[in-house]
């Protein structure tokens, strides 16, 4: 996820368009807040990387589910193709393999599944297995998923900036946050 870039852009946007907020903060307070954000992002990236490299134990039940989904996927079932891709991505019922995950998810996307490109977006935005993190590829797949009508992709594209603006504003000036934001709208 483009967390750091989004965080910094949101902070910049907040300062540019909220003169009263900037006037309430000293330069030291802003620096401390940015330092806190950097540490938080670094910690989240480390945890995400460890999680995405983990190989789960392969149980007989998971292996059976994988084989069932694989048979359906080979017959052209887009939902099963997505599930096979997800299982390769997570290493459930099979060894983790990011390349095979992307192959099956791409096939599912070609067959009209709008969630599959969102999963590919996740793979590229976090770096799963041997697949390296790539914001350019992640954004391409996120856009495709949103264009295909997947609601979570549309919310991710539209809501990410708003979420960070709200969070930053809440952290920077909690006393005026309640006065400025009401019922999901800026006052």
pLDDT in tens, 153-181: 888 877 655 555 555 555 555 544 444 44
Residue 182: strand pairing partners = 185
SS3 content of the chain, % helix, strand, coil (to 5): 75, 0, 20
Return the domain boundaries, the chain: 3-49+159-186, 60-149
Q: What is the pTM of this model?
A: 0.61
Return the biggest CA–CA distance within the chain: 63
Fold of the 60-149 domain? 1.25.40
Do residues 99 and 91 lie in contact, with contact meaning Cβ atoms separated by under 8 Å? no
pLDDT digits (tens, 9 = 90+) for 90-119: 888 998 888 999 999 999 999 999 999 999
Summarize pLDDT for 111-123 with one digit per residue, the tens: 999 999 999 998 9
């Amino acid at each position: 996820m483009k967390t750091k870039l989004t965080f910094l852009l949101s902070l910049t946007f907040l300062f540019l368009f909220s003169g009263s907020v900037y006037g309430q903060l000293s330069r030291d307070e802003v620096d401390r807040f940015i330092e806190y954000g950097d540490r938080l992002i670094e910690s989240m990236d480390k945890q995400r990387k460890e999680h995405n490299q983990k190989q789960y134990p392969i149980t007989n039940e998971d292996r059976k589910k994988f084989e069932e989904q694989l048979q359906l996927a080979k017959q052209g079932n887009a939902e099963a193709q997505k599930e096979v891709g997800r299982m390769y991505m997570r290493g459930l019922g099979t060894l983790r393999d990011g390349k095979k995950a992307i192959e099956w998810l791409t096939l599912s996307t070609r067959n009209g599944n709008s969630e599959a490109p969102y999963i590919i977006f996740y793979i590229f935005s976090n770096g799963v297995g041997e697949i390296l993190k790539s914001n350019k590829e992640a954004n391409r797949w996120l856009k495709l998923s949103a264009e295909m009508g997947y609601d979570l992709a549309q919310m991710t594209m539209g809501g990410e900036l708003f979420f960070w603006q709200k969070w930053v504003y809440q952290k920077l000036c909690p006393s005026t946050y309640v006065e400025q934001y009401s019922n999901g709208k800026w006052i």
